[in-house]
Amino acid sequence: MERLMRVGFGYDVHRLVDGRRLMLGGIEIPSAMGLDGHSDADVLLHAITDAVLGAAALGDIGSHFPDTDARYKDADSAELLGAVIGLVAERGYELENIDATVALQKPKLRPHIDAIRARISDICRLPVGRVSVKATTTEGLGFVGVGDGAAAYAVCLLRAASTSASGRDGDPKL
């Protein structure tokens, strides 16, 4: 059967500033600085959201939730990702797994990784064993390294959901 699996990729960057909360993967990380943006600026959830949209060829986060729209001011990125999961579910796909990397110079994310994975598992209704989150510094190099911002990269795999959500001949509705 064709089109059973689709891979998606997402990438996002946000600037680090004083006076903002640092939201990553749907949880708040204790930090002197936070990520700036129209929404809660959760760079990791934004990359995952774009990966899911990308796998379904449904555009990007900016086309679905424009930062010029007052409705998304300080938006909870967990809700945006949840909406996108619903969107691909309507088209007959569900998430198989997520793998993501956050590039941030400080604070160190390792102590928070399990909490982040658990939260993403909850948002995506996906067993935590299918949610991978890694963290890296950039060894002091580039905009991440000098502490100007954070970047996140994510890939995900979508697979055709059960036959009840599939199209006439068993193919998903994409």
Footprint on this chain of Mg ion (rule: CB under 5 A): 12, 46
Query: Residue 22 is inside which H or E element, if any?
Result: strand 22-24
Taking the complex as a whole, how short is the minimal distance between the CB of residue 129 and Mg ion, in angstroms? 27
Task: Map tokens 């209704």 to a residue.
Answer: 125
* Structure-block tokens of residue 103: 């590039």
**Minimum CB–partner distance for residue 55 and Mg ion (Å):** 18
Choose between 12 and 34: whose C-beta lies nearer to Mg ion.
12
As given in the structure block, the two tokens for residue 96 are 């198989």
C-beta of 40: minimal distance to Mg ion in Å? 10
Output the six-digit token pair for 113. Answer: 């990784």
- Give the shortest CB-20-to-Mg ion separation in angstroms: 13
**SS3 at position 80:** helix
- 24 or 88, CB closer to Mg ion? 24
Q: Is 137 left (phi over 0), alpha (psi -120 to 50) or beta?
A: beta
**Amino acid (one-letter) located at 125:** R
Which residue number, 144 or 160, has a Cβ lying nearer to Mg ion?
144
Torsion sign (Cα): 78, 50, 157, 97: negative
d(CA 10, CA 46): 8
State the nearest-atom distance from the C-beta of 14 to Mg ion, in Å.
Answer: 6
Comparing CB distances to Mg ion, the nearer of 12 and 98 is 12
Give the span between the Cα atoms of 174 and 172, in whole angstroms: 6
Q: Which is nearer to Mg ion, 46 or 117 (CB)?
A: 46
